Chain A
Amino acid sequence: MRASLRPSDPAASPAVERVNAELFTLTYGAIVRQLLTDYEEIDEVNKQLDTMGYNIGARLVDDFLAKANITKCTDFRETADVIAKVGFKMFLNVTATVANWSSDNMECSLILDDNPLVDFVELPETCQGLSYCNILCGVLRGALEMVSMRTEVKFVKDMLRGDDAFEIRLKLLEHVPEEYPYKNDE
């Protein structure tokens, strides 16, 4: 909602053009449905959504760092905070909470109470194994890999399956040294 964006909010900077979420929400839904008819295995659909997200995240990260005026975070804790407070806000206009840190600071959760991808969505019985919002995991994985963090990202709670929130588990596998060439996902 426009009213909720304050001028001091980096996500509200004029550099970010905003559009009504309807088109985005419906397009994503139609893609998921088409993929479900293209693949027999629901796991394959989850994987495909993750791959799509990975490519999107890898492409969006530079734009994000520039627009949000952020220099690369070195610390994983700081990174998680930026994703939750600035990243989600800038792109999806929702704020996530960072919680459930592991004692070694290598794992945490991003918790969302709502998200525009699931507006109108009701999962049919036949889609129980579907991680409907899996594209978000891919986006995070792709973006983080571009800033040298190799991660494992998955949903552990999903409101479409009756949980009280969306919880994305984010696990840092390794900090890749600065001299990449990256290996592309595919």
Chain B
Amino acid sequence: MTSNKPIVVENPWERLRAFTDARIGLGRAGVSLPTGKLLEFQLAHAQAQDAVHCPLDVEALAQQLQEAFALEHEPLRLHSQVEDRAMYLQRPDFGRKLNDESRERLEAVASQSRVDLAVVVVDGLSALAVQQNSQPFLKALYQQFEQDSAEWQLAPLTIIEQGRVAIGDEIGALLNADAVLVMIGERPGLSSPDSLGLYMTWAPEPGLKDDRRNCISNVRPAGLQMDEAARRLFLLLKEARQKKLSGVKLKDRSEDNVLEGDSAAPGSTQNFLVAD
């Protein structure tokens, strides 16, 4: 038994979606989500969960990076003290430390003299982000180094499985690096399962807190672009090298900036809801 009235009530303000990615104007069946919108959400959540649980294909990534940058040696493949994903999710402390074998391997290859930077690729919470974005980001970053007048000595590239951001502190210290850059898969958002996060720390050593790091987030094709992320990271790195520090003390300059919405004039709160 159906009447002529539609079962699903559409929302005439759906066109407001041009101004936000928020899931507005979904319509309703009674007061509930219509089937199509329900399944769209389920798909996004499924992709995000898959991104968390899918393991990094470390062999493929190592090979890809070696070929792309014509490296003499394959990147070093290392592992945290975490044994599996369930442990990773519940014991961040184990994800911050290298296992014994990895530490010994690093000690064997570390250069005796200081290097400027150690780049550390870590699976984190999204192997997809790392698999997909590492090479294009590194390409953009290496271009920045090449164009710079100063010389940059890099430590051997490393790839870490089941790691957290702070594992870079131990690696940077073992590799005698003045700074460490951790490229890590971020916690997947519902519409961003592939976000790479960049964390730069000056004078890395085990036990540092987050206030010593600078972070650039949301690096992915549909988010912050590779070239722009590399440009910002390189600026931070140069400033860190000049001032010999990183973290909150380095960054505070943007403190009182107002983010300007794309759709309003600077400083204005004018919008359609309150227009006369």
A and B are interacting partners: no
On B, residues with C-beta under 8 Å from A are: none
